[in-house]
């Protein structure tokens, strides 16, 4: 696509939207939205016909599925054409390949790609000992989320896996951002956020570890230990397991008043021969 006209801007971290040359081009029909979302999540890579059929119809595709899929692709191209100059061919944007279809590399920009780039920048900043840079980049990455991924897109098996993977990545980025904020001694500001996160993610031991550190640094030693006991009781009752070794080490550090709890970054709070507290 001629760069004079810019790429398609597609948002997937929340409701689906697609704009080209200031024109909204996302379809309203459910199956076309599924196709666009799957193509956008794999921009620059071929999405096979079999993957698209599985997404749209699961184990029970109609006999006419190949022809119906071609019709959906044609309708998507027609929407693209409404925003392209007459000299451009929508097939140069949404191309047909031997085994499937592809949004050509460089023809679209997605918030998922931007999220991934900012997350990588945040991780790199943390690894070089720059918590302020990490907190900023990771915070910008998280700000791109406007709700659950693909919030208004019907999802079959393929998109459900994609959305689950995105949510797990988001939680990992969130943990790293909180760790960076802890390294900047922003523990008081984190209390409310971590209270909500532990309630919404009752099996996430990392969030509980972060909550315990925040409570300890805020002077709430008893609440920190109660948080551990509450998680332990839940894990034993629900899964029949004890908290992970990292959490048990953290509990012992709180019980003994380990001075490193007051100053060390969250990711270094561990016995030197046992690995990091947080993964």
Kindly state the percentage of the chain with pLDDT values over 70.
92
Quickly state the pLDDT bin for 264 (edges 50, 70, 90).
Answer: low
> What is the SS3 assignment for 89?
coil
Quickly state the pLDDT bin for 4 (edges 50, 70, 90).
Answer: low
d(CA 195, CA 232): 17
Other CB atoms within 10 Å distance of the CB of residue 8? 26
Average pLDDT, the chain: 91
> What is the SS3 assignment for 91?
helix
- Tell the burial category of 254 from Cβ atoms under 10 Å away from its Cβ (0-12, 13-18, 19+): buried
pLDDT at 260: 85
The pLDDT tens digits of the residues spanning 88-146 come to 889 999 999 989 999 999 999 999 999 999 999 999 999 999 999 999 999 999 999 99
d(CA 24, CA 146): 18
Task: Give the pair of three-digit tokens for residue 250.
Answer: 């953290």
d(CA 45, CA 95): 11
pTM, two decimal places: 0.89
pLDDT at 149: 98
Task: Give the pair of three-digit tokens for residue 128.
Answer: 């070089």
Instruction: Walk me through the domains of the chain, giving residue ranges and CATH numbers.
Output: 3-110 (1.10.10.10), 186-279 (1.25.40.10)
Q: Using an 8 Å Cβ cutoff, are 159 and 150 in contact?
A: yes
Strands 47-48 and 100-103, how do they pair?
A: antiparallel
């Amino acid at each position: 696509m001629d760069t004079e006209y810019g790429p398609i801007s597609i948002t997937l971290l929340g409701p689906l939207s697609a704009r080209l040359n200031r024109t909204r081009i996302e379809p309203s029909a459910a199956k076309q939205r599924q196709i666009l979302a799957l193509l956008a999540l794999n921009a620059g890579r071929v999405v096979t016909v079999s993957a698209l059929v599985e997404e749209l119809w699961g184990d029970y595709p109609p006999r006419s599925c190949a022809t119906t899929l071609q019709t959906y692709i044609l309708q998507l191209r027609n929407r693209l054409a409404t925003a392209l100059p007459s000299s451009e061919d929508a097939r140069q944007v949404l191309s047909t390949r031997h085994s499937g279809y592809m949004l050509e590399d460089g023809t679209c920009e997605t918030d998922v790609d931007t999220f991934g780039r900012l997350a990588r920048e945040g991780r790199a900043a943390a690894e070089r000992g720059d918590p302020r840079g990490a907190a900023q980049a990771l915070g910008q990455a998280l700000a791109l989320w406007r709700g659950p991924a693909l919030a208004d897109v019907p999802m079959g098996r393929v998109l459900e896996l994609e959305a689950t993977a995105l949510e797990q990545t988001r939680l990992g980025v969130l943990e790293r951002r909180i760790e960076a904020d802890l390294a900047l001694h922003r523990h008081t500001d984190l209390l409310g956020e971590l209270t909500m996160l532990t309630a919404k993610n009752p099996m996430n031991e990392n969030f509980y570890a972060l909550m315990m550190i925040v409570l300890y640094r805020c002077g709430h030693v008893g609440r920190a230990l109660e948080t551990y006991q509450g998680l332990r009781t839940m894990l034993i009752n629900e899964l029949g397991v004890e908290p992970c070794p990292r959490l048990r080490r953290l509990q012992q550090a709180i019980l003994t008043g380990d001075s490193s709890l007051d100053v060390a970054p969250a990711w270094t709070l561990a016995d030197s021969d046992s690995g990091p507290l947080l993964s």
